[in-house]
Amino acid sequence: MRQIVAVGPETAVRAHVERYDRFDDAAIAGLVGVSEACADGIGAPRYESVSDALRETDADGVDVCGPGAVHGDALREALDAGVPARCDPPFALDGDAFDGLVSLASDGEGWLTAYSPHRFSRLYDRLRTDVDAGAIGSIGVARIKRTAPFDGAGWNSSYAGISAAADPVDALCAVLAHDADVLEWTFGAVERVFARARSGGRYDHVHAMFAFREGGRATIETTWSDEWTPEPRVDVEYSGNQGRLHFDEHDTLTALRNGGDHGQVAPPGDDCRGGALRAFLERIEGEERPPSAVDPEGPSRAVVAVRRSVAEGRPVTLTEEGSR
């Protein structure tokens, strides 16, 4: 039985605990960042910090429920203690935080995984399989357009915990990071980024243009509102020299309907977030330390570049060392 310390805002922590409860080989050792009432409801001890939780328990892993960049202290404390950790991307929003976490993980006993739960959805997995099988030939332009936030579960469960981001651009980057992760997973490393962001009133918006090392291009547009919930929208299109793959929100919502509402079909343990947590457990259970102390680095590196591009108004080239 693997003991997990869960960290993050209550809604996200509850979502994760609900999934761990469905696994036979996982138990919640402690909670950080939640109220006493929440901890009592879950039935696990509450701690003030990850360091405290790790000192008081025999935890095998620390699960940051949301973007790691918002919970940098938790990640650092886990890695300092040599305990494996997972989080949603991005695990950092600036170069210093990025470099600090990578060196901490590389020099110590711990490791960090920061995959987007998207990777564990059947939809994205099928798209990637099709691309790998040559369904569209070589990628020309990948376009992703997304409106956030995403209350509730279902196909949007990848985004639990993002509302904790303090700054609109950080929130936009936290949403964008999931798409950057899937793009890199599907089409390879990103070489160059250019982005613009604007905030105001009900909505904040970012658009980013990516150039892949292998030559294709991608755009990600994210519209965010932390106050007003717009109709959830997503439009994903991969155009290659031999065809196109496309889906939108209708393709993800129509499997089960109750009047005007859309029902969730997959049980929580078997949805994309459940898949991400399952993969974390399996990696903990592995005999060998993962080959890379931080996996994946690329999407968070791309997000650091997006923020830098927004701030400096210029394209940013990603190098092996960092985002210059």
Partner 1 sequence: MTVDVGICSTDHVNAEVYAALLSELPDANLVGISGESRERVRKQANSVGAAAMSHQELMDAADGVVICSTNAAHKALVDLALRNDVAFLCEKPLATSLATAREIRDRCAESDVVAGMAMPIRYSRPMRRLKEQYEAGAVGELIAVSGVNRGRMPGGWFVDPEQAGGGAVADHTDHIVDIVRWITGEEIEEVYAETTTRFYDIPVEDVNLLSMTLSNGASFIMDGSWSTPQKNSFWGDADVELVGTEETLAADCFGYRYDHVSDTGHGRHTESIYWGADPNNALLRDFVAAIRGESTLAAAATVDDAVRTAAVIEAAYESVERGEPVDVDR
Point out which residues bind partner 1 (CB under 8 A).
Answer: 138-141, 143, 145, 147, 194-205, 207, 209, 211, 215-217, 219, 221, 223, 230, 239-241, 243-244, 313-315
- Inter-CA distances, 76 with 8, 29, 41, Å: 14, 19, 28
For residue 183, the minimal CB distance to partner 1 (Å) is 14
Give least dist CB 13 to partner 1, A: 31
Nearer to partner 1, 100 or 188 (CB): 188
User: Which tokens sit at 3?
Assistant: 């003991």
**Based on CB atoms, which residue is closest to partner 1, 22 or 205?**
205
Residue (14 or 146) nearer to partner 1, CB: 146
Number of neighbouring beta carbons within 10 Å of residue 38: 18
Query: Could you give the CA distance from residue 92 to residue 300 in angstroms, rounded to a whole number?
Result: 6
Q: Looking at beta carbons only, is 106 or 138 nearer to partner 1?
A: 138
Give the number of other CB atoms < 10 A from CB of residue 249. Answer: 18
Per-residue three-class SS string for 247-311: EEHHHHHCCCEECCEECCCCCHHHCHHHHHHHHHHHHHHCCCCCCCCEECCHHHHHHHHHHHHHH
Q: How many CB atoms lie within 10 A of CB 312?
A: 9
CB of 111 to partner 1, least distance (A): 35
Residues listed for the chain: 324
For the CB of residue 305, give the shortest distance to partner 1 in the complex, in Å.
14
Min dist. Cβ of residue 312 to partner 1 (A): 11
* Spatial contact of 65 and 14, defined as CB atoms under 8 Å apart: no
Query: C-beta of 60: minimal distance to partner 1 in Å?
Result: 44
> Shortest distance, CB of residue 196 to partner 1, whole angstroms?
4
Q: Is the peptide bond before 90 cis (omega within 30 degrees of 0)?
A: yes
Is the CB of 125 or the CB of 235 nearer to partner 1?
235
> Given the complex with partner 1, which of 39 and 310 has the nearer CB atom?
310
Q: Which is nearer to partner 1, 205 or 283 (CB)?
A: 205
DSSP 182-247: HHHHHH--EEEEEEEEEEETTEEEEEEEEEETTS-EEEEEEEE-SSS-PPPEEEEEEEETTEEEEE
